[in-house]
């Protein structure tokens, strides 16, 4: 299935596919995946990828394992490339434009799945962007993996008004774990924090553990099956 860059699918796809949505800087490349019908829940998760200028795309392994975990729980999933990545048009905009990209994708998701709970997840830079966007959206579950506190301005980040999971590798070589812990400690409302020992920023050799940690932490917040 595909859509014109000037239009958007009028319904959520009934099978895994990629297509284009119109975004604020041109077309956005989007991929959707669906759970097995037997475990499907009325929830849809948008997952944001890491920093474009350091090679981040929606095909990043942490992004795809997060997608898999949420889909196995019964959620529909949406990944997309920020502006200037893959087939998405535009240029890197240091966070502001990428937040607008996410809001454009979320607007489409809410239009085609108005009866579904909206979940947001992000890895690294994607965690930062999803947190910035969350204040504008009715998010029911937030998942932040290795949020880059200390690398980006988290002063503008507000705790989401919903259950919130943060997963942080204790040997992260990109994001200083202590910066993440200090930032969380400064928040008036704190997330559930999972510290994952003996793993770096990209969770090499620990991706299955990451998958399990996500599923264990958020399963209880799934909406009932219809």
Whether residue 5 lies inside any domain: the answer is no
User: What is the rounded average pLDDT for all residues in the chain?
Assistant: 95
What CATH number is given to the structural domain containing 211? Answer: 3.40.50.1820
Q: Which domain holds residue 128?
A: 17-217
Q: What is the pLDDT of residue 1?
A: 40
Quote the tokens at residue 128: 């930062």
Percent of the chain at pLDDT exceeding 70: 97
Looking only at the bridges linking them, the beta strands covering 192-196 and 164-169 are parallel
Query: Considering the entire predicted model, what is its pTM?
Result: 0.96
pLDDT given at position 156: 82
Q: Would you state the pLDDT for residue 8? A: 86
Where does the pLDDT of residue 82 fall: very low under 50, low under 70, confident under 90, or very high at 90 and above? very high
| pLDDT computed for residue 181 by the predictor | 97
Query: Is residue 120 domain-resident?
Result: yes
* Phi and psi, residue 76, nearest 5°: -70, 150
Low-confidence winner among 6-10, 25-29, 129-133, 160-164 (lowest mean pLDDT)? 6-10
Q: How many domains does the chain fold into?
A: 1
Q: For the sheet with 43-48, list strands across it.
A: 17-23, 26-33, 76-80, 43-48, 117-123, 139-145, 164-169, 192-196
Q: What pLDDT shows up at residue 6? A: 57
> pLDDT tens for residues 89-105?
999 999 999 999 999 99
Find tokens 């240091």 and name the residue.
94
């Amino acid at each position: 299935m595909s859509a014109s860059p000037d239009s958007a699918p009028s319904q959520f796809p009934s099978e895994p596919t990629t297509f284009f949505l119109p975004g604020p800087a041109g077309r956005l490349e989007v991929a959707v995946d669906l759970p097995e019908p037997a475990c499907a829940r009325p929830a849809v998760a948008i997952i944001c990828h890491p920093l474009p200028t350091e090679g981040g795309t929606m095909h990043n392994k942490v992004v795809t394992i997060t997608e898999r975990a949420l889909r196995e729980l019964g959620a529909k999933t949406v990944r997309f490339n920020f502006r200037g990545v893959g087939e998405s048009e535009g240029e890197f905009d240091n966070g502001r434009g990428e937040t607008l990209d996410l809001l454009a994708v979320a607007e489409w998701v809410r239009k085609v799945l108005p009866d579904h709970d909206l979940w947001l997840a992000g890895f690294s830079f994607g965690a930062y962007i999803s947190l910035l966007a969350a204040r504008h959206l009715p998010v029911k579950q937030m998942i932040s993996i290795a949020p880059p506190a200390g690398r980006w301005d988290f002063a503008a980040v507000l705790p989401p008004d919903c259950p919130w999971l943060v997963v942080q590798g204790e040997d992260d070589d990109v994001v200083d774990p202590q910066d993440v812990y200090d930032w969380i400690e400064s928040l008036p409302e704190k997330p559930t924090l999972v510290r994952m020992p003996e793993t770096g920023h990209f969770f090499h050799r620990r991706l299955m553990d990451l998958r399990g940690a996500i599923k264990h932490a958020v399963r209880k917040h799934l909406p009932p099956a219809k």
